[in-house]
A and B are shown apart, each in its own frame.
Chain A
Amino acid sequence: MNTPIFKIVITAFLLLFFTQCKKDKNTRYEIIQTPSYGDNLNKDKDKTNIEFHSILTTNLFQKPSSINELTRTDRVIQSCGDKTLINEVIISNYMNSNLVKLPSRRMMVDSTERFVEETYVRFFIRRPTEAEKTWFINFINANKSNVNFRPELVYTAFSASDEYMFY
């Protein structure tokens, strides 16, 4: 068993075994469609006044404002010390326009979960966490009896929030 011929045969066999031809594997790569939304952890750059209102008017009217309107709005924001406050006033000015596009109150009340998710995606470009979704669903349900509680107020809260001022 320990003859040199036997060792040579074994070595040749092993060499052949590890270097033999193999059948090609057909690997296929496919794309799975998955919606990708960020979180709020990396939003650390504040929007300029013009960026903010350009995005806001696009969200509310489905079309951006003219540069003249944006420049004018920028000057007004600069003229007030509390930026979130003056943004709220400007937003409520927009809400007085009949061109603003809002979901119906019925949709908010009947499809609350969908309404909350869509609002988060629309304004924050991300899905709500479970805690956020639960809080909003509970809050909207608790305010169902208040006829003045409308999607307009939810949109105003999102538009005037800190997160909406950052990207």
Chain B
Amino acid sequence: MKRREFVKKAAVVTTGSIVLPYLLPSGSLFARTNAPLADHVVYVIFGGGLRQQDSILQRYLADSQNFNVGGNILYNMLEGAPPTSKIAYGTTPSGQPDGIQPIPKILSQTLQKQGTIFAEMRAVSGGHYGGLNSLVTGSRVEGQGLKVRPINPTVFEYARRFGGFKATDTWFIGNTIGNSVPLLNSSKHPDFGLAYGGNFFAPNITFGGDGFAALSNAKIYHPQEELEPMYKMKNFLDNSFNIKKGDMPGIRNTDDERTQIKEFIAATFQRQAAGLLPMPPVSGGDGSTIGYAAEVLRVFKPKLLVVNMSGIDGCHSNFTGYLQSMHRADHALGFLWNYIQNSIPEMSGKTALCFVPECGRNLQHNPILDANDWYGYDHGDTNSLRVFGGMVGPNIQSNLMVGSESNPIGTVTDFNLTIAEILGYKSDVINAGHIDPNAKSLFDRI
């Protein structure tokens, strides 16, 4: 072999051996742009509009109903003593006053003690869809219409494209099919879109009465003798039709993933009937959504799961119900974190939890009184841009409070970059150029 030829071949082999191990099915050349801080992220949208005064500022009724009663009703999340009078945020044992029974604390140590809380952040929208949209895309939502997919890529698309994750590694568990929630698992961005979208379930429909009627009697086909030829025929038909990427009606899982999800659907109906689903002790509503999210975590152990709650939004017309929903959401969040740590060994100690509401609520009440003669609160003014958020898990500083009422730090759009940093592809997301230009990873805000 001539010297020049030898040098050329050696260069090709060396380059190939460096590059090839990092080629991903997603087409991304390099898997990670920073060292991951955790293997999994669970992102809880503590949603529905959470008023800063009634939550992290722990003023209970003092800043809303002219009763001088403060206290912390989010005691799985935050440090602080609960209210001592006017108890209406709990459950209602038979024959007793509404909400009289506070739900026992689940976590032995609050999330505040275990992680980092950003006490005073800014939301980018005082509305639900704008708020949710900004949380999943990390962008400001100017020019965004309702009832359409986000115009900017979502956290799922970044995870799949830059993290190289498959569809069943990314999940969005929604609490409703209203408010355009089912459209938030993917954007319509031409460089990302449904090809990189996350899986989505709205469990109260999928596994509720509608889903039971439409899905629970489904046949379980034999994987080799029935499903395999069926998928071969379907794939042949799909290749003949050659659908355009932009025309895809939903996200796509591989054949193996589809089989796995079908088995999950069938098993979930069986476990539901047998009472085996991991539900919070006080369930229903948001608690039920969190329970199904826990079931998805147990089975799929995804890299990224986003779950949203919205029971709190009853505050428009029922302040007492709002307090109860807030307390139950805290209970459900505590349950979820506890379940990950104690019942999913593959995720225990390797999972980061992020939580934030999509918006706050107004400073002034509306004229609607509930059964306790307490006023309701809408959202949309500048007070509804006041929110708090937090994160807990490996490589996240414990017992740290960042910012205060007089010193706001961070915006809700920071969470997308924070998740990208935790999973190891922050630079890719920044370089893609679709994130709020003022957003930073929360690690960079500390």
Q: Which residues of A does B touch, CB under 8 Å?
A: 40, 43-44, 46, 72-73, 75-76, 78-86, 88-90, 92-93, 95-96, 132, 135-136, 139, 143, 146, 148-149, 153-154, 156-158, 160-163, 165-166
Q: Is B29 an interface residue (CB 8 A)?
A: no
A161 and B253 contacting across the interface, CB-CB below 8 Å: no
A153 and B229 contacting across the interface, CB-CB below 8 Å: yes
Q: Is B198 an interface residue (CB 8 A)?
A: yes
A156 to B219, CA, bound (A): 12
Q: Which of A76, A82, A139, A148 contacts B167 (CB 8 A)?
A: A82
Would you give the shortest CB distance from A99 to chain B, in whole angstroms?
Answer: 13
Chain B, 145-198, CB within 8 A of any chain A CB: 167, 172, 174, 177, 182, 185-186, 197-198
Interface centre among B172, B249, B251 (most CB of A within 10 A): B249
A93 to B269, CA, bound (A): 13
B219 and A92 contacting across the interface, CB-CB below 8 Å: yes
Interface centre among A46, A76, A88, A161 (most CB of B within 10 A): A76
Q: Is B142 an interface residue (CB 8 A)?
A: no
A48 to B247, CA, bound (A): 13
A15 to B207, CA, bound (A): 90
B229 and A143 contacting across the interface, CB-CB below 8 Å: yes
A89 and B218 contacting across the interface, CB-CB below 8 Å: yes
Q: Is B399 an interface residue (CB 8 A)?
A: no
> Which B residues are in CB contact (< 8 Å) with A83?
249-250
> Which A residues are in CB contact (< 8 Å) with B221?
92, 153
B262 and A89 contacting across the interface, CB-CB below 8 Å: yes
A89 to B266, CA, bound (A): 9
Query: Chain A interface mostly helix, strand, loop or mixed?
Result: helix
A93 to B222, CA, bound (A): 15
Which single residue of chain A is at the shortest CB-CB distance from B262?
A89
A156 to B228, CA, bound (A): 12
B206 and A76 contacting across the interface, CB-CB below 8 Å: yes
Q: Is B96 an interface residue (CB 8 A)?
A: no
A78 to B179, CA, bound (A): 12
Q: Could you list 11 A-B pairs, sorted by A, with CB under 8 Å?
A: A76-B205, A79-B177, A79-B206, A81-B197, A81-B199, A89-B265, A93-B216, A96-B217, A132-B240, A139-B229, A149-B225
Contacts A81-B198, A89-B262 given; does A76 touch B215 at CB 8 Å: yes
Q: Which of B177, B217, B249 contacts A165 (CB 8 A)?
A: B249
B218 and A72 contacting across the interface, CB-CB below 8 Å: no
Q: Is B445 an interface residue (CB 8 A)?
A: no
A133 to B142, CA, bound (A): 51
A92 to B233, CA, bound (A): 16
> Which A residues are in CB contact (< 8 Å) with B238?
161-163
Would you give the shortest CB distance from A78 to chain B, in whole angstroms?
Answer: 4
A136 to B252, CA, bound (A): 24
Interface centre among A46, A157, A158 (most CB of B within 10 A): A157
A157 to B240, CA, bound (A): 13
Chain B, 229-277, CB within 8 A of any chain A CB: 229-234, 236-238, 240-241, 243, 247, 249-253, 258, 261-262, 265
Q: Is B200 an interface residue (CB 8 A)?
A: yes
> Which B residues are in CB contact (< 8 Å) with A92?
218-219, 221
Which single residue of chain B is at the shortest CB-CB distance from A131?
B240
A160 and B234 contacting across the interface, CB-CB below 8 Å: yes
A152 to B444, CA, bound (A): 57
> Which B residues are in CB contact (< 8 Å) with A44?
247
> Which A residues are in CB contact (< 8 Å) with B265?
89
A161 to B201, CA, bound (A): 22
Which single residue of chain B is at the shortest CB-CB distance from A78?
B177
Contacts A79-B206, A148-B225 given; does A73 touch B219 at CB 8 Å: no
The 5 closest A-B pairs by CB, nearest first: A81-B200, A83-B250, A157-B233, A79-B205, A79-B202
A154 to B233, CA, bound (A): 7
Q: Is B368 an interface residue (CB 8 A)?
A: no
Q: Which of A76, A79, A84 contacts B252 (CB 8 A)?
A: A84
A79 and B225 contacting across the interface, CB-CB below 8 Å: no
Interface centre among A81, A89, A146 (most CB of B within 10 A): A81
A153 and B241 contacting across the interface, CB-CB below 8 Å: no
Contacts A82-B251, A143-B229, A161-B238 given; does A76 touch B201 at CB 8 Å: no
A166 to B231, CA, bound (A): 19
Which single residue of chain A is at the shortest CB-CB distance from B172?
A81
Contacts A89-B265, A90-B215, A153-B230 given; does A78 touch B236 at CB 8 Å: no
A46 and B201 contacting across the interface, CB-CB below 8 Å: no
A73 and B214 contacting across the interface, CB-CB below 8 Å: yes
A91 to B240, CA, bound (A): 22
A160 to B213, CA, bound (A): 19
> Which A residues are in CB contact (< 8 Å) with B213?
72
A44 to B241, CA, bound (A): 11
Contacts A73-B214, A157-B234, A162-B238 given; does A80 touch B206 at CB 8 Å: yes
B261 and A85 contacting across the interface, CB-CB below 8 Å: yes
A82 to B258, CA, bound (A): 9
B222 and A148 contacting across the interface, CB-CB below 8 Å: yes
Q: Is B437 an interface residue (CB 8 A)?
A: no
Given contacts A46-B249, A149-B229, 7 further A-B contacts (CB under 8 A): A72-B210, A72-B213, A78-B182, A82-B199, A136-B236, A153-B221, A157-B234
Which single residue of chain A is at the shortest CB-CB distance from B168?
A82
B229 and A146 contacting across the interface, CB-CB below 8 Å: yes
Which single residue of chain A is at the shortest CB-CB distance from B236?
A135
